[in-house]
Amino acid sequence: MALLFAGILAAGCGTMSPPSPPTSFPTGEPATSGRMATINRGLVGAAVESSRPSADYRIGPEDMLQITLYNVPGDAGATPRMNAVRVSQTGVINLPLLGEISVTGSTVSGLEEKLRQLYDKYIYNPQVGVLVTDFRQKASIIGAVHKPGEFVISGPKTLIDVLSMAGGVTPAAGTQVHLYRRGPNGQENYVIDLLVLASNPGSYNDKTINQPLQAGDVVNVPQAGMFFVYGAVRSPGSYPVDRRYTIKQALAKAGGLDIDLSSSDIEIYRRKDHSEEVQTIPVDFAAVLAGSAVDLPIEAEDIIVVPVSTVKYVWNRYLFQILFSGMNLKSFIP
């Protein structure tokens, strides 16, 4: 299963006991040219398989739309049968009768339905068609690929497509792809298993693995020999395994826990014996700090997830402000 994390607010405790720490700490061997060549061949084949148009394409700024009212005569005075409009930088189009309409983030079918409802006030049983005639959205790819940079998403594109557009991964690449996206609730982070993405034909149509890209997405292919920390830490991101790290040291490298939000029930996601199988290692970090649990060593390509405590989140974001808003706390200090 590909690893996928987005919008993490809480995570239950796992039932698997932490494995005994290895006798020697692996530093994470670099990805070999042979393995990367296999992955690249898989990506090329996957890109061909996934090149069919997708209904999930999201309209964005600078896209050119052709909007047709099929049951309106060509010489109608109130509105023309066909309108060619470009989406503004703010995601708006302007149409006769309707005025300004926000379209950014809409699918083609979604916009057709929205326009049908709006035109229904003026036209009996409107039949609306929307066609994207010019795609202007862009996504970026960075890291261990042959041609990093910014790419125009000229039509529906998936993660596999943009990896192929970037010339595939280099021999230095690790086995994970990280997708960063600005969502409605802030930054979203996705971690996808590159081996599964390239080797499993069933993943081509799995949108949780081969994700449809959106405007502004950033795809990062880190080099091998990295570990990753996500969730309620002060500096989430990727870090090189440049020396021996334990779980405490790895979290310290990421700026430490956000004590106002973090849960002590941490999980490590680790590839098992360099295979596609991934194991989940639960860590009771409070017990680690107390010395009653093993401070596990970190391996290359480990993903450490620090869930947000729902109780802390609600208290710090809402209840505390409600209870103490406007209160002079100095009056409680002797």
CA distance 296 to 19: 9
Helix extents (H) in the chain: 33-49, 108-119, 159-165, 194-199, 247-253, 285-290, 310-314, 320-324
Whether 327 and 246 share a structural domain: yes
Whether 33 and 159 share a structural domain: yes
Whether 35 and 172 share a structural domain: yes
Whether 235 and 271 share a structural domain: yes
* Boundary-marking domain end, from 111, 134, 157: 134
* Boundary-marking domain end, from 199, 224, 249: 224
Which residues face 89 on adjacent strands?
Answer: none
Whether 247 and 322 share a structural domain: yes
Q: What is the pLDDT of residues 190-226, one digit of tens each?
A: 888 887 777 766 666 777 788 888 888 999 998 888 8
Whether 110 and 232 share a structural domain: no
Whether 48 and 194 share a structural domain: yes
Asked if residue 194 is part of any domain, the answer here is yes
Residues 6+ apart with CB under 8 A from 81: 68, 69, 70, 72, 73, 74
CA distance 189 to 180: 5
Whether 186 and 49 share a structural domain: yes
Asked if residue 154 is part of any domain, the answer here is yes
Indicate the DSSP class of residue 297. Answer: B
Asked if residue 306 is part of any domain, the answer here is yes
Asked if residue 22 is part of any domain, the answer here is no
Whether 49 and 84 share a structural domain: no
Q: What is the pLDDT of residues 58-117, one digit of tens each?
A: 888 888 999 999 888 766 567 788 899 999 988 999 998 899 999 988 889 999 999 999
Tally of domains within the chain: 3
Asked if residue 160 is part of any domain, the answer here is yes
**Token pair 């189009």 is at which residue?**
93
In 3D space, the residue among 268, 302, 248, 295 whose CA is nearest the CA of residue 27 turns out to be 302
Whether 99 and 220 share a structural domain: no
Instruction: Please report, for the domain that includes residue 152, its CATH number.
Output: 3.10.560.10
pTM of this structure: 0.56
Whether 255 and 331 share a structural domain: yes
Whether 130 and 275 share a structural domain: no
Helix, strand, coil percentages in the chain from 3-state DSSP, rounded to 5: 25, 30, 50
Domain residue limits at 259: 226-334
Helix extents (H) in 137-227: 159-165, 194-199
Instruction: Please report, for the domain that includes residue 123, its CATH number.
Output: 3.30.1950.10
pLDDT the model gives residue 185: 77
Could you tell me where the beta strands, DSSP code E, fall in 194-328? 218-221, 226-231, 237-240, 265-271, 278-284, 303-306
How do the pLDDT tens digits run along the chain, 334 residues long? 333 333 322 333 332 333 333 333 333 334 345 666 667 776 666 555 554 545 567 888 888 999 999 888 766 567 788 899 999 988 999 998 899 999 988 889 999 999 999 999 988 899 999 998 888 888 999 999 999 999 887 777 888 888 988 998 888 888 889 999 887 777 888 888 887 777 766 666 777 788 888 888 999 998 888 899 998 888 998 888 878 899 999 999 999 988 777 777 899 999 876 666 888 999 999 999 999 999 999 998 899 999 887 655 554 555 445 554 554 444 434 4
* Boundary-marking domain end, from 224, 249, 278: 224
Asked if residue 270 is part of any domain, the answer here is yes
Kindly report the length of the chain.
334
Contact 304, 298 (CB under 8 A): yes
Asked if residue 218 is part of any domain, the answer here is yes
Asked if residue 82 is part of any domain, the answer here is yes
